[in-house]
């Protein structure tokens, strides 16, 4: 088997036994990137030299007996995490040449844990999108079918993991951007509780919703990566000052006797029938593991998408005001005066979807509309969170599909923003409520495309969710199937 296809857990066992070196592993990954990235476009930049140097250093540390949990494991970062040694573009022309002067906390923590960062993955511009088609660097192809999207906005990370261009990757999730692409590419992806992982140095889209998390080949790997990423950070005022549990150790706990809520509102008519069938089959597996399922109600679910697009756009319009062409972003040529510099730099630097969000956000925050839209959305956000609170008084976790459909075709939803926004109908409520949620593969449709399901936990309930996901993967092998890449 190609070493690049290994999970983090399997590769670290081989590294520990001395049956594989980090250099060999990293070379295998770099070779895979060279052969397949021209077709997939999953990476915006690859740091071959830096990765090989880090791999050699990891092997040396291992020889000295100084290992940390990720020593020598090659992973990829979504190009939204600042890296001092590599450009950080956020998928935008605005930041096409941005070399950050510092590392994100996530970057630093992963490096300290010993990870080898092979490159930065493609993404929707400023993480706005569900298909990776808004990237300035071109669309990413889904490795299961190159005519389809990998989902978004962490589509590059999802495609890279699914096609073995890295062992695991990091994504971000504001409204579904880890879970929806994980689902469409047949991998596991975890959005942690808001505040569990530091946002410092993670380029801001909607600050009250953004959260970084692992995208991996197994739930076990998600626990391993989360362990390295999570924790309080004084540099992020919204980070939670709570100790980090031992996620990988807790995975081994029995799930028998746990209660899983099934919300009727998440099993809607517009859903692809095979998605429903796959989730129904997963429920049977959970029953066989000694888990009880109970109906729960999340009555404000239908308001999640409009509420999200008001709040996320409002925050984006404020966060993106900093890109003015003066300090570090794209600057237009030969500006006549300062106003002209601002106007033209922003007009040239941002793509159409980002402009749509800035306009929408500015509108809902403007005086006269603030109460009708923004303030109202904040109230509905509370009701959505209250629905989940009530559900978690009865159950340990909630089970839903991750996405109403499997991977759609490139171009299929680009002309209709509302259609695109509905891709995240099952993932967005979780962000509004700040909860942890895991997507993991649970089937394939008739075209052979992966289907994902979502396990949602209470605040800081990463462990129960990971335990349930891991138990499911011990009992099934959907997570072992791999795409065969053909034109
Ligand atoms: N697709 C959603 C949006 O376009 C969510 C994106 C995300 O989670 N970053 O806003």
> Active-site residue 78, yes or no?
yes
Give the CA angle between residues 435, 244, 110 to the nearest 5°. 95
> Active-site residue 21, yes or no?
no
Q: Which residues line ligand 1 (CB under 6 A)?
A: 127-130, 153, 173-177, 205, 312, 424
* pLDDT tens track, the chain, 487 positions: 699 999 999 999 999 999 999 999 999 999 999 999 999 999 999 999 999 999 999 999 999 999 999 999 999 999 999 999 899 999 999 999 999 999 999 999 999 999 999 999 999 999 999 999 999 999 999 999 999 999 999 999 999 999 999 999 999 999 999 999 999 999 999 999 999 999 999 999 999 999 999 999 999 999 999 999 999 999 999 999 999 999 999 999 999 999 999 999 999 878 999 999 999 999 999 999 999 999 999 999 999 999 999 999 999 999 999 999 998 899 999 999 999 999 999 999 999 999 999 999 999 999 999 999 999 999 999 999 999 999 999 999 999 999 999 999 999 999 888 888 888 999 999 999 999 999 999 999 999 999 999 999 999 999 999 999 999 999 999 999 999 987 5
For residue 321, how far is its CA from the centre of ligand 1 (angstroms)? 19
Cα end-to-end span (Å), the chain? 23
What CA–CA distance (Å, rounded) separates 202 from 204?
6
Residue 19 falls inside a structural domain? yes
What domain range includes position 21?
3-256
Atom 10, ligand 1: which residue's CA is nearest? 128
Residue 469 falls inside a structural domain? no
Q: Which residue has the tokens 């030299």?
A: 49
CATH value at residue 38: 3.90.1300.10
DSSP for 350-399, please give it: S-HHHHHHHHHHHHHHSTTTIIIIIIHHHHHHHHHHHHHHHHHTT-SEEE
> Active-site residue 177, yes or no?
yes
Q: Which residue has the tokens 């998390």?
A: 213
Number of domains in the chain: 1
Mutate to test the pocket of ligand 1, among 176, 408, 421 (most ligand atoms within 8 A of CB): 176
Residue 462 falls inside a structural domain? no
Residue 437 falls inside a structural domain? no
Active-site residue, selected from the candidate residues 21, 92, 177, 345: 177
Residue 458 falls inside a structural domain? no
The backbone torsions φ and ψ at residue 340, rounded to the nearest 5 degrees and listed phi first, read -65, -40
Residue 270 falls inside a structural domain? no
Which residue in 374, 32, 357 sits closest to 175, CA to CA? 357
Which strands make up the sheet holding 397-401, listed edge to edge?
43-46, 116-121, 74-78, 168-172, 212-216, 188-191, 437-444, 450-456, 397-401, 259-263, 292-296
Residue 60 falls inside a structural domain? yes
For residue 190, how far is its CA from the centre of ligand 1 (angstroms)? 15
Residue 473 falls inside a structural domain? no
């Amino acid at each position: 088997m190609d070493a690049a296809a290994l999970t983090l857990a399997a590769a670290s066992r081989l590294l520990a036994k001395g049956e594989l070196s980090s250099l060999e592993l990293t070379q295998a990954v770099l070779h895979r990137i060279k052969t397949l990235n021209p077709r997939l476009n999953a990476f915006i930049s690859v740091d071959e030299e830096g990765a090989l140097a880090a791999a050699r250093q990891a092997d040396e540390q291992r020889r000295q007996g100084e290992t940390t949990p990720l020593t020598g494991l090659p992973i990829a970062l979504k190009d939204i995490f600042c890296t001092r040694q590599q450009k950080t573009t956020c998928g935008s022309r605005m930041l096409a040449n941005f070399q950050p002067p510092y590392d994100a906390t996530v970057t630093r923590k992963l490096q300290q844990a010993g990870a080898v960062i092979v490159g930065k993955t493609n993404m929707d511009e400023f993480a706005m999108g569900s298909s990776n088609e808004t990237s300035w660097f071109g669309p990413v192809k889904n490795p299961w079918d190159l005519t389809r999207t990998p989902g978004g906005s962490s589509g590059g990370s999802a495609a890279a993991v699914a096609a073995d261009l890295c062992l695991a990757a990091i994504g971000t999730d504001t409204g579904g951007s880890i879970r929806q692409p994980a689902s469409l590419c047949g991998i596991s992806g975890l959005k942690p509780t808001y505040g569990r992982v530091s946002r410092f140095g993670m380029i801001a889209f909607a600050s009250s919703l953004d959260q970084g998390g692992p995208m991996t080949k197994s739930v076990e790997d998600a626990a391993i990566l989360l362990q390295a990423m999570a924790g309080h950070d004084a540099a992020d005022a919204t980070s939670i000052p709570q100790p980090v549990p031992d996620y990988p150790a807790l995975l081994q706990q029995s799930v028998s006797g746990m209660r899983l809520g099934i919300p009727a509102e998440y099993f809607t008519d517009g859903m692809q029938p095979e998605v429903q069938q796959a989730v129904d089959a997963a429920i049977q597996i959970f029953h066989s593991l000694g888990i009880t399922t109970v109906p729960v109600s999340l009555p404000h679910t239908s308001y999640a998408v409009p509420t999200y697009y008001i709040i996320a756009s409002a925050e984006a319009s404020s966060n993106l005001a900093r890109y003015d062409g003066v300090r570090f972003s794209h600057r237009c040529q030969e500006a006549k005066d300062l106003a002209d510099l601002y106007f033209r730099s922003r007009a040239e630097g941002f793509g159409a979807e980002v402009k749509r969000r800035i306009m929408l956000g500015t509108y809902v925050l403007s005086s006269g509309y603030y109460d009708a839209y923004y303030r109202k959305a904040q109230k509905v956000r509370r009701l959505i969170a209250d629905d989940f609170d009530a559900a978690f008084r009865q159950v340990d976790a909630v089970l839903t599909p991750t996405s109403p459909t499997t991977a759609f075709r490139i171009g299929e939803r680009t002309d209709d923003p509302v259609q695109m926004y509905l891709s995240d109908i099952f993932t967005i409520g979780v962000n509004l409520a700040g909860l942890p949620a895991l997507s993991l593969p649970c089937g394939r449709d008739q075209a052979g495309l992966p289907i994902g399901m979502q396990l949602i936990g209470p605040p800081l309930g990463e462990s129960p969710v990971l335990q349930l996901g891991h138990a499911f993967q011990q009992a099934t092998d959907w997570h072992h199937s791999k795409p065969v890449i053909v034109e």
